Amino acid sequence: MTIKLGNAPCSWGVEFADDPRNPDWRTVLDECKSAGFHGIELGPVGFMPEDPSVLGDALAERDLELIGGVVFRPFHDPEKWDDVLDGSVRTCKALKAHGARHLVLIDSISPRRAPTAGQPGEAEQMTTDEWSVYVQRIRHIAAMGTEEYGLTVAIHPHAGGFCDFKSEVERLLSEIDSSILKLCLDTGHSHYAGFDPVAFMETYMDRISYMHFKDIDPKVKADVITNRTDFYEACGQGIFCNLGDGETEFPAVRKKLIDAGFDGWCTVEQDCDPTGGTSPISDARANRSYLESIGFN
C-alpha cells in the first residue's frame, strides 16, 4: 500500500484555461516540484500544452507524474452538452497520452444553485426528468472514460452544482454502476455541503478511488453561507485555508485510508484567487509539511 501526495493547478488559482490572470503553466510545475510533490493534475484542459511531447518533456524534466484531470463543466445544462463532451474528450486524450489514471467529473456551478451553496434545506432541486437526463450525461462520460480510454472515472461533489449535498451524492452513486463511476471525495467541499468527510468515508470507502485534500475555515464558511457569497469570491476571502488550519480532521482521514488499504494518489487542492495576494508556493510547502507531520510521506 502506497499513498502518494500530489497537487493541482487550482492551488495556484487556475480554474479556467483562458483566465488571463493564470500563472504560466511552467511556473506551476516548477513550484509544485519545489514544494515537494511528485505528481500534479492536468488542470482545466488547455491550460497545459495539449501536445503530448511538449508536456511530457516538461514533466520528465521535473520528475513529475501526471495524476489525472478534472472535467469541470455544466453537466446540468442541456444546452451545454457539446461543451461538456469537448472538455471530456480532450481531457481523456491528454490523460491517456501521459499514462494518467484519474478522470474526475464535476458538475460546474449553476446559477440555480450558487446562492444556496452550503444550505441543503434551501437549495433548488432538479425535476425528476431533469435528474434522469443529468444522470444519463454523467453515465455517458463515465462509460467513455472507462471503456474507450481505460481511465478510472470518479464523480466529485462540488459547491454550487447539482451533485453537492450528501443525499445527492448518494443518489447519484446508487444510479450509476460502480464499474464505471467511482467517487473522488473532496474533504473541503464535504464540509461546505454540511457533511463530515470522515463519516462519509466510513460508509463509502469501497467506492473512493481518489481523494482531494482541502481544508475549510469555519468562520469564513459561516459568513459566506449566510451572505450567499459567490463561490469564487469565497475563495478570494480564503474559505479554503492551509491544511490543518480548518475543520478537516486529516489524521482521521489518514487512518481511514490506511485501514482500508488505500493505494494511490491524494491531491491537495487549495482553490484560491490567482490575484488574491496569497503565495501559492508558500501554501504548497506548508501543506506538504503539515501532511508529513501527521504521517504522510
Query: What's residue 208's pLDDT?
Result: 98
Predicted confidence at residue 276, as pLDDT, reads: 75
Three-state SS sequence of the chain: CCEEEEECHHHHCCCCCCCCCCCCHHHHHHHHHHCCCCEECCCCCCCCCCCHHHHHHHHHHCCCEECEEEEEECCCCHHHHHHHHHHHHHHHHHHHHCCCCEEEEEECCCCCCHHHCCCCCCCCCCCHHHHHHHHHHHHHHHHHHHHHCCCEEEECCCCCCCCCCHHHHHHHHHHCCCCCCEEEEEHHHHHHHCCCHHHHHHHHHHHEEEEEECCCCHHHHHHHHHCCCCHHHHHHCCCCCCCCCCCCCHHHHHHHHHHCCCCEEEEECCCCCCCCCCCHHHHHHHHHHHHHHCCCC
pLDDT of residue 274: 85
Write down the pLDDT at residue 1. Answer: 64
Say if domain 3-293 classifies as CATH 3.90.870.40: no
Residue 83: per-residue pLDDT: 98
Give me the pLDDT at residue 43, please: 97
Q: What is the pLDDT of residue 232?
A: 87
CA distance 31 to 243: 18
Per-residue cell: 262: 488505500
Contact by Cβ (8 Å): 235, 271:
yes
- CA 179 to chain centroid: 20
Q: Which residues of the chain are modeled with pLDDT < 50?
A: none
- What pLDDT is recorded for position 222? 95
CB 224 within 8 A of CB 237: yes
Domain ranges of the chain: 3-293
- Cell, residue 213: 485534500
The C-alpha atoms of residue 34 and residue 244 are separated, in whole angstroms, by: 21
